[in-house]
Amino acid sequence: MIKTLKPRQICFFYIALLPVVKFFMMPSLIAGICGEDLWISVLINALSDIFTIAVLYFCLKDEDADFFTLIEKRVGKAFAKAVMAFYIIFFLLKTVIPLNEEKDYVELTLYMTSPSLFTFMPVFFAIFFICAKKLRVIGRIADGVFIVSVIGYAFTFALSVSDTDVLAVLPIGAHGIKKVALGAYSSCGWFSDGAYFLFFVGNYVKGKKDGLKILISVAVSSLIVLSFTIIFYGTFTSIAFRQKFALTELSKYTTAINNMERFDFVAIFSLLFTSIFALSLPFYFACELTERLFNIKRWLAAIIAILPPVILLLFFGEYFNSIENFIINIASGYFITLGTIFPIIMAIILKLCGKKELNYAVQGN
């Protein structure tokens, strides 16, 4: 079997692409729920993702097929198709809020006048182009945007950290465990990143200590998001929940920006560029599963995967608050189940099934 990805590309994938979608409205959402304890909620979700990926890696590291192919081989086609259908819904739900965040951000902060309804359409064409490609494109994107993302992170943190009151996040646990748990639950739609690793299992060239490299990269990705949320709250403290777009608000009130030109746009546009590719990820994997499930052409699967969010975003905007509340308050349980619980349980089952197959093969010989 030809391996599509390299461990380096998986590492770059987690560091370069996944933190970016968490830089828009997620920090203010959690700050509105649990105030200065927002970083604990983020940490809970981050540790959950790290643990999920660790289990997937160590259980399935010797496999030469991805997660869904393994289910089909060892559990059955009917069950595999049901799992793929559930994950299509998972990824489509995962597109909605980040996509709307990006649309609102672009329309409300980058335009002097109100843009038209179809201003955001070029983004969908870019997403369609990416979705029409094979898995190799994910590795190439990760390689291509890594430096851009690092520049964006470096500028954002460098401009913001000097005006951050780190002690503002104290005392730890001030809002109680219930609020912290609610913050983690409500924001897990931005996380649940272990689900992406399901497609990488068996699809990368194995090398020395690749598991350690991948887990370190996931930890670095989590640290970037955790640092961002701490700096965000340390900058705005009790009014952090009012700052809708954390990415822009974080740096524009710093002393350096007040004394000079707004070169924080270097960071903002670097991360905006990366975010286009990050937005395409759930669409891409929904397309991948749609193609497999219905055995159709790739371009048709891409249209099927992209069309529902496009219609929702462009023509049902007046109902979006209700849709957003549904995803945050109800669908979060779906994200936890398919992003963490199911992959862990299924990885262990697949590992045990693989051992049984090996034992039967040995006994047969």
Residue matched to tokens 């009130």: 253
Q: Helix, strand, coil % (nearest 5) of the chain?
A: 80, 0, 20
Q: What is the per-residue pLDDT across 308-363, written as a single tens digit (0 to 9) for each?
A: 888 887 777 677 788 888 999 999 999 999 999 999 999 999 999 877 665 555 45
* Mean pLDDT value across the chain: 87
> 46: which 2 tokens?
């981050």
Q: Which two tokens stand for residue 263?
A: 């070169």
SS3 113: coil
Domain 7-364: CATH superfamily, name plus number: Amino acid/polyamine transporter I (1.20.1740.10)
Q: Delimit the domains of the chain by residue range.
A: 7-364
End-to-end CA distance of the chain: 25
In the prediction, which pLDDT does 362 show? 47
Cα 329 to Cα 94, 178, 184, 186, 323: the distances in Å are 14, 14, 11, 6, 10
Cβ-in-10-Å burial (0-12, 13-18, 19+) of 76 comes to exposed
For the CA atoms of 94, 22, 247, 137, the dihedral, rounded to the nearest 10 degrees, stands at -70
Q: Which residues of the chain have pLDDT under 70?
A: 1, 109-118, 249-264, 317, 356-365
- What pLDDT is attached to residue 103? 79
Contacts of 74 (CB under 8 A, 6+ apart): 350, 353, 354, 357
Give the pTM.
Answer: 0.92
pLDDT at 114: 61
pLDDT at 345: 96
Residue 202 in tokens? 């068996």
With the C-alpha atoms ordered 263, 163, 226, 216, is the resulting torsion angle positive or negative?
Answer: positive
Tell me which residue has tokens 């689900």.
195
Tokens 């979006």 map to which residue? Answer: 320
